[in-house]
Amino acid sequence: MRFYDLLNFQHIMLYAFPALIFILIFGLFLAYSHFHTRDSEERKNKIQYRFPAGIGDRYAPFPLAMSLTIIGTVVWAFLYILITGLLEVRI
């Protein structure tokens, strides 16, 4: 039992706000940044295929945020395995 009821609310706000801020920033990063090549603007605007329902398919550039997330995950996994092995940690 908590001595103060407000403490539960403070913990929820402490966990929720950083997560919401991260989601917003990551969403903006996904929406507005990509690798710029000489044909990236053309690829974003040119419709490659049109489906019967009127939906257009484009070959847009790959988002930079996704590239960094994938690279970061691979690097973290490699370092985690390496450091766990070097420190002889039992899992």
Alpha-helical regions (H) of the chain? 6-32, 40-45, 64-86
- pTM equals 0.53
pLDDT in tens, 43-60: 777 778 888 888 888 777
Q: Is the pLDDT of residue 1 over 60?
A: no
Q: What is the mean pLDDT of the chain?
A: 81
CA-CA-CA-CA dihedral for 58, 64, 69, 74, to nearest 10 = 90
